[in-house]
Structure 1
Amino acid sequence: MMDKNNVEYTSSLLALLQIVDSGFPTGGFSHSLGYESAVKHGHIRSKKQLTEFVITVLENIGSSSLPLLCEAYKQSGDMSKIIALDEYTEACLSNHIANRSSVQQGKSLIASSSETFKDKRMLNIKDNIQSGKVKGHQPVMYGCVCSFLNISLEDALISFLFSSLRTILASSVRLGDMGPLEAQRIQFELQACLPNIIERNKDKTVDDVCLSNPLADIFQNSHDLLFSRLFYS
């Protein structure tokens, strides 16, 4: 018979697996995190350039989103602080494409989670989004959801980065740039970078939020200028 701690761990693990599953409706399938733009602007022409681009995107997420996620996780019980943190995130995201993507995925995460888990705290955030008090930026919402589901902060950080890595490589497959097996192999190789990115950013404060690789941000910012596009960001 499982003891209480094992039951709680299993419950939180299953909840984490559910929210990071591609079938959980957060809208991530419609975003490429700037990959589509980088390809169509001729920046990515080889596997080496692809892996370098993916790493720069992950580094940007590490320095710009992980401190916000950590703070949201720690302050999830105080709605006034979550509202302030969401406003701060809005001010930090001057790239309108990244801003739009963050809001869309964050709102979808809260909407799906509140309906799935029936947690009053998630419903409260959803109500604040609907009333316009909260934009619903993704790293803030993800930190709150993981905290509410008793997912450890360490698992929240690694799963957030993992989902971003998977999103970019899935975008490459859907654009026909590589096959699914090759994408899985590259994903396995690049997963080794995630712990180091987390280690360098997990103790930063929201005042340290920044972009470490502006070029990736520029490509994403130019996504709406593409003549034709499959993704929304």
Structure 2
Amino acid sequence: MRLYIARMHFARLLHLVDSAIPTGSFAYSYGLESSLTFGLITTPSDLRNHLYSYLQQAGSAELPFINSTFHLTEKSPEFQTIAEEYDAQLLVPSLYKGSGVQGRNWLKLLTTFYPEAALETITKWFETQEIPPHFTLVFTLALQRVGFALEELKAMYLHMLLRDQLSAAIRLGFLGPLEGHQLQHDFYAVFEHILAAQVGKGYSQATRSAFLLDAAQVLHEDIYSKLFQN
């Protein structure tokens, strides 16, 4: 019976990381398209460096918030401080908007998947506080409530970020599908290092390090987008 439950738990995890789940992350290249347009990425080696920097920043900027949020609920006094801090550190308008959109979609989907978890209380809390339900925060709150472990959350989070970057590179024609999947396979080896570097770090230790990626994302709205052209 325990083995059956473990397998079902793993199957649900696979479903939640499926790229077909419409959270909105598919629509954002997080600076990749701008970097290609303006010549910051011109070779496969450049793309590898971009992905490494992107994941390192995700590790140092996002994982500490996940660490802190996981041990709280939206009603915890400390969580309001965390939500306000996270809201204040998202300075790129398109990332700020995208984070809220993805967070709302994530909560809407998981509310239908896990009605018994009463996830609508998370949505109501953000509405009452007039803070966008940023994806990193509601991703953590919701999955913790439905029974996933912290280490599972963090590995899932990095997987989703890497997958979406490589999906964007493939849609933009910079990579072929086979090359993209090979890169994804290779980069899983990087996860262990990134996760280990952030063990025990809380939101007050979060740092952003890849400012060039943020600058590229600022320019995204001003370029002729090719992301969804055939």
Q: Same fold per TM (> 0.5)?
A: yes
User: Match for residue 84 of structure 1?
Assistant: 81
Secondary structure at the aligned position of 1:207 is classed as helix
User: Match for residue 55 of structure 2?
Assistant: 58
Deviations 1:113-144 (A, max 9, x none): 11221144311112234445441111111111
Secondary structure at the aligned position of 1:222 is classed as helix
The answer to whether the 8 Å contact 2:74/2:80 transfers is no
Separation in 1, partners of 2:83, 2:58: 16
User: Match for residue 40 of structure 1?
Assistant: 37
Alpha-carbon spacing, 1:127–1:120, altered in 2? closer, same or farther (3 Å): farther
Separation in 1, partners of 2:16, 2:79: 20
- Structure 1 unmatched ranges of 5 or more: none
Q: Match for 1:143 among 135, 140, 143?
A: 140
Alpha carbon RMSD of aligned pairs, Å? 1.9
Shift of 1:161: 0.4
- Structure 2 unmatched ranges of 5 or more: none
Shift of 1:34: 1.3
Shift of 1:172: 0.6
Q: Match for 1:126 among 105, 115, 123?
A: 123
Alpha-carbon spacing, 1:81–1:17, altered in 2? closer, same or farther (3 Å): farther
Alpha-carbon spacing, 1:119–1:28, altered in 2? closer, same or farther (3 Å): farther
Corresponding residue pairs, total: 228
User: Match for residue 114 of structure 2?
Assistant: 117
What is the identity percentage for the equivalent residue pairs of Structure 1 and Structure 2? 24
Separation in 2, partners of 1:7, 1:149: 18
Separation in 2, partners of 1:141, 1:154: 16
User: Match for residue 26 of structure 2?
Assistant: 29
Deviations 1:6-34 (A, max 9, x none): 45533432332222111222111101121
User: Match for residue 91 of structure 2?
Assistant: 94
Q: How high is the TM-score relative to the length of structure 1? A: 0.90
